[in-house]
Structure 1
Amino acid sequence: MHEQAVANWRVVAARVERGWHTQEDFVTAYDERARELREQARISVRQVRRWESGESTWPNRDARRVLEAMFGCSLEDLGFVRTARPTGRRVGAPGRQLEECDVRRRTFLGLAGAAPVLDLDALDHLTAAAHGARHYGERELLGHLRTALDDAAHADGLAGPHEALPTVLGILAAINSAARTAAPGPRRELLVLGARGAELAAWLHRDAGAAVPVVAYWHHQAKEWATLTGDGAMHAYVLLRQAQATDRTDAARMLDLARAATTGPWTLPPRPRAEAFQQQARALALTGARVEEVARTLDQAHTALGQAIPASGPATCTGPLGDGYTDERLMVQSAICYREAGQSHRAVALFRQHLTARVFAPRDQAFFTAQYSGALVAAGEPDEAATAASEALALAADTRFGQVLAELHRTADHLAPYAGRTAVREFRRRLDELAVA
């Protein structure tokens, strides 16, 4: 793998986080800011590519001023390396080369055991690892990136999207850059992994409260890489995830996407196929379909899940598609479907039976508990609803699980007629305090 294929992951992550999803978008924004600053220098996509590949390490004076104004931070914080002044040291001294090689190797081989959540500073270690990867081969780098992506997905379930997102963006930048010079076999494997990572990036952006076009961008990237690698199941899985990301006020689109996942020219494995049927059931409930139709579609989900081979280990982001979709998850999501269908008492009964097992990651436990609180309001149990909502808020407050908080605000609105009750008043006060903070 050529060393110039290594990305400056910091500037890539910073660019994408600010909404400049393509290099063309960035060039347009750069030119606009340059005009505002009355700088004459303009850049091209080729120059952005040089910066992001690490081929050009330190921008010229005019570009430095524009970049610092755009990002609001120093160039060093963006991963650029200031040109070193001559020191009199002989270039390529053997001792220096051996020292750098040793550091790179220890960094590369040791990262798999590092903390699962990496911030932007930690991406420097990933950069060093990738620079050293040419000494160890593409296969070793691919294995490391796969482990890092699994760790990031696990961290999201524990600590939320804001902690995991920089790592995932860095991994995606590395995959995109390395794939340009990789041989056909490793290139395909990189893009297969990239599709998984891009879908995860879409999820993280959505949970972090990003705008709809940002989420759509990453879904599109995941489908593009799935198409290039002939991974029809992954393409269908992204359609399912798009359905899940669709706002409940657009139930018709949600239904179209979920149906496409099960009826297109592809075959989903049993577990994600079950999840797609469950999503169809929710969309049907939101469109006002009869509860019998919702129940029949959920029966299809149970049938599909019954065909799944038992999982051989813990579910991971890069393992079999949808391997984390279990009977417990289907049952609590069925409760959500019945809640949307106006069957609040049936929903409450399912939540009470299947949510208490505590088998879900903190983020999922918080989300399902928030849904449970809404079902309790509809079932005429405001005090229990406020108690459940407070439990979900305790799980989501520090990590800022976006979808959980959105659902809790929905519950708070439904609890407005009971604002005088002690439990309700306390929950709404804590939610308001968090919003202010």
Structure 2
Amino acid sequence: MPEHTVANWRFVAARVQRGWHTQEDFAAAYDETARDLGERARISVRQVRRWESGESAWPNRDARRVLEAMFDCLLEDLGFRRLARPTGRRPDGSGRQLEEHVRRRTFLGLAGAVPVLDLTALDHLTAAANHARRHGRDELLGHLRGTLDDAARADGLAGPHEVLPTALGILAAINSTARTAGEDLRRELLVLGARGAELAAWLHRDAGAYAPAVAYWHHQAKEWATLAGDGPMHAYVLLRQAQATERTEAGRMLDLARAATGGPWTLPPRPRAEALQQQARALALTGAGADQVTRVLDRAHAALDQAAPPSGPATCTGPLGDSYTRERLMVQSAICYREAGQSTRAVGIFGEHLASNAFARRDRAFFTAHYSGALVGAGEVDEAATTALTSLALAAGARFGQALAELHRTADDLAPHASRPAVREFRQRLGELAPA
């Protein structure tokens, strides 16, 4: 289980939405706001933990003033409760109507979950999970899976900033229920929690969170997978850690990718192919020749040849790596060749395989950003800028962080050609987005 229980997930979701991805980030922002308001009171990370765990039900007067200035909302909307008014009924008398609205949007009512749940719907989900014994085990697990799958799908369209609060709320419900559930149900919840924690790590990374926040959720996913005896999931998180490793740490990337395929577990063919591809990219970044990169990519293709056809659409909680297709392996192979200095070869592969409809908006934005970088390396400057503009149009609205990071890399590569009209337009549009 986590180092501290997250009972007040509303507060956690609100601070993450505003860009304070760690408790340390929030404590520093709180102190700065307090200084601006002329308040002497400061807080520690320990106090932030108390608020998030629900140990501190209602902040003192000075803290209330600072929190209201930081969040611009009522403290009740941050999950705090007045001791004298525990019912939380709204003064306009709409409590009964709100309850009916929530019931319609959650599994205790008539309809299924929406892709990204609102705060009140997640409150109800958490309450239902806390009283799991009152509801059917399969019904509870089915709804949690469905809600998590909906959140993962929404990320591909709306982006991480919209989905993070939902993912954190689901994880709070899973964690809270698992702490008191019977052994069989607890194991199922831990398996599901590992999937959700890995998703949370991805969302934090794509939202631009600092590395410790991403690492925390990767650690949590591995812990839950280990407690559940889910070796393949543990290995899969190692792969995701390798993917989250910066290009400047290619040695660590390589070690993590190799550990995913070489530990005391057996990855299914699809994630094994993905892990081998990640090894090929890490080798390219360490200076290995194109021939060595190709040999490892051949092993990835051989692993994918062993995979059975997917039984249905890929989901967050379905078979591991079901979304890893031949088209994805090909465009990621192009990335490997780009990193190995084979830009012309990479351009040919991108041009052939990015034309398919196999990719969600977020993935297309990311791979197209890499394509633009490969075009720069191949000397196709104007085409690179035009392709980068295409990627930017896909990534800007949802602020897909990894795609935007690659576009900044392309912008740096295009700097010597800044006077060309297409390059100038791309760099200007990217620069306009940065402060948003």
Query: TM-score w.r.t. structure 2 length?
Result: 0.85
Closer/same/farther in 2, CA of residues 233 and 135 from structure 1, 3 Å limit: same
- Worse-superposed segment, 125-134 or 195-204: 125-134
Closer/same/farther in 2, CA of residues 31 and 398 from structure 1, 3 Å limit: closer
* RMSD value, Cα: 3.5
Letter of the 1:124 partner, please give it.
Answer: D
Closer/same/farther in 2, CA of residues 298 and 100 from structure 1, 3 Å limit: closer
Is 2:422 the counterpart of 1:423? yes
Closer/same/farther in 2, CA of residues 420 and 342 from structure 1, 3 Å limit: same
On the 8 A contact 2:260/2:275 being kept in 1, the answer is yes
What corresponds to 1:344 in structure 2? 343
Q: Which runs of 5+ in 1 are unaligned?
A: 88-95
Closer/same/farther in 2, CA of residues 111 and 14 from structure 1, 3 Å limit: farther
CA distance in 2, matches of 1:153, 1:427: 30
CA distance in 2, matches of 1:394, 1:416: 20
On the 8 A contact 1:237/1:261 being kept in 2, the answer is yes
Letter of the 1:9 partner, please give it.
Answer: W
Closer/same/farther in 2, CA of residues 47 and 275 from structure 1, 3 Å limit: closer
User: Once the two structures are superposed, what CA deviation does each residue of 1:326-358 show, in whole Å capped at 9, x if it has no partner?
Assistant: 000000000000010011111000001100012
Letter of the 2:301 partner, please give it.
Answer: H
Q: How far did 1:144 drift?
A: 1.0
On the 8 A contact 1:117/1:155 being kept in 2, the answer is yes
Is 2:357 the counterpart of 1:354? no
On the 8 A contact 1:104/1:128 being kept in 2, the answer is no
CA distance in 1, matches of 2:138, 2:6: 15
Secondary structure of 1:436's counterpart equals coil
What corresponds to 2:170 in structure 1? 171
Q: Which runs of 5+ in 2 are unaligned?
A: 88-94
What corresponds to 1:260 in structure 2? 259
Query: TM-score w.r.t. structure 1 length?
Result: 0.85
User: Once the two structures are superposed, what CA deviation does each residue of 1:55-99 show, in whole Å capped at 9, x if it has no partner?
Assistant: x86567687568657866532111234456699xxxxxxxx99x9
CA distance in 1, matches of 2:310, 2:219: 29
On the 8 A contact 2:106/2:121 being kept in 1, the answer is no
CA distance in 2, matches of 1:186, 1:112: 24
What corresponds to 1:79 in structure 2? 79
Letter of the 1:108 partner, please give it.
Answer: F
Aligned pairs for 1:60-79 within 5 A: 73-79=73-79
On the 8 A contact 1:150/1:316 being kept in 2, the answer is yes
Q: How far did 1:43 drift?
A: 8.1
Letter of the 1:276 partner, please give it.
Answer: A
Q: How far did 1:398 drift?
A: 0.6
On the 8 A contact 1:383/1:423 being kept in 2, the answer is yes
Is 2:374 the counterpart of 1:371? no
What corresponds to 1:91 in structure 2? none
What corresponds to 1:404 in structure 2? 403
Q: How far did 1:166 drift?
A: 0.5
Is 2:17 the counterpart of 1:18? no
User: Once the two structures are superposed, what CA deviation does each residue of 1:106-165 show, in whole Å capped at 9, x if it has no partner?
Assistant: 743448633202344543343454466543234322211111110000000111100111
On the 8 A contact 2:331/2:353 being kept in 1, the answer is yes
> What is the percent sequence identity of the aligned residues?
76
CA distance in 1, matches of 2:110, 2:398: 24
- Worse-superposed segment, 427-436 or 296-305: 427-436
On the 8 A contact 1:37/1:66 being kept in 2, the answer is no
Letter of the 2:217 partner, please give it.
Answer: W
CA distance in 2, matches of 1:162, 1:204: 8
Is 2:154 the counterpart of 1:152? no
What corresponds to 2:90 in structure 1? none
Letter of the 1:13 partner, please give it.
Answer: A
Is 2:135 the counterpart of 1:136? yes
Closer/same/farther in 2, CA of residues 137 and 216 from structure 1, 3 Å limit: same
Closer/same/farther in 2, CA of residues 161 and 31 from structure 1, 3 Å limit: closer
Q: How far did 1:383 drift?
A: 1.0
Aligned pairs for 1:148-227 within 5 A: 148-227=147-226
Letter of the 1:343 partner, please give it.
Answer: Q
Closer/same/farther in 2, CA of residues 388 and 110 from structure 1, 3 Å limit: farther
Secondary structure of 2:279's counterpart equals helix
Closer/same/farther in 2, CA of residues 148 and 61 from structure 1, 3 Å limit: same
Secondary structure of 1:356's counterpart equals coil
CA distance in 2, matches of 1:43, 1:333: 43
Is 2:232 the counterpart of 1:233? yes
Is 2:249 the counterpart of 1:246? no
On the 8 A contact 1:10/1:123 being kept in 2, the answer is no
Closer/same/farther in 2, CA of residues 105 and 139 from structure 1, 3 Å limit: farther
Secondary structure of 1:305's counterpart equals helix
CA distance in 2, matches of 1:114, 1:435: 34
What corresponds to 1:382 in structure 2? 381
Letter of the 1:145 partner, please give it.
Answer: L
Q: How far did 1:257 drift?
A: 0.4
Q: How far did 1:18 drift?
A: 3.5
